[in-house]
Amino acid sequence: MNEENFNKILGILDNPLALLDAGAIDCGVTFLEYFVSNKVPNDIMYEIQTRCKNFLLTLAKELAERIPNNESYFVQRTVRTEMDVEVSKRSRNFTDYDRNLLFELVIQYKHILENKKTDGTSVKQKNEAWDEITLKYNSSCQTGPRNAKQLHALYDGIKKKARKNLHDDKKNLFKTGGGTFTPQSDELDLKIATILKPQYQALTNCFDSSAAYFQGKLLLLRWLTI
């Protein structure tokens, strides 16, 4: 429906001669039965019908004025680009190359993405950073294009995996009394722990009962990075 037709609708709604009198409007059997059974006077019933008519008229005007904007909004929401369609399909699993590529891109924006602030400006900067990362990632990845939401989830996942693997390595080191064991962590895990060190290094206290625990963790990180 074009703008000319919308203006015609608004013109009809603003023309009293084009509208039925409130008393001539059929409000339904239930409406009439209620008023008849309760013996509501005709003048009060007419007043209520007039109020209903005015409410519906106001509602119709609001809808008619908003339809152009709503139509444009829904068109934008429903028209999908070729990239969107491709991403929505079942994507191939991420490879080690993809994970390393993403992390190398993310650390370029570390000062933005690892900022713990949640104000409007910070959130906007983070969204823009993820958009830029997505463009760069999709130009070099091996397993097909991804959207920002998928890459954000992958980034959270590889950080969580690194934390778990390093924790398991620490437990295994204590189990063997400092002997040999098979590390669960890989090169990417160690890189993450090094670059995002404050998130992976616990506060130490050489006087409490957990001192040996944390000392072992620091020794493990040094040993794994040799």
| pLDDT tens per residue across span 97-155 | 999 999 999 999 999 998 888 888 999 999 999 999 999 999 999 888 999 999 999 99
What is the reported pLDDT for 221? 52
Integer Cα distance of 116 and 119 in angstroms: 9
What residue ranges of the chain have pLDDT lower than 70? Answer: 1-29, 63-90, 178, 198, 200-226
pTM score, whole prediction: 0.51
What is the reported pLDDT for 101? 94
What is the reported pLDDT for 105? 94
Integer Cα distance of 126 and 130 in angstroms: 6
What is the reported pLDDT for 225? 54
Judge residue 14's burial from the number of C-beta atoms within 10 Å of its C-beta, 0-12 exposed, 13-18 middle, 19 or more buried. Answer: exposed
Is the Cβ–Cβ distance between 2 and 57 less than 8 Å?
no
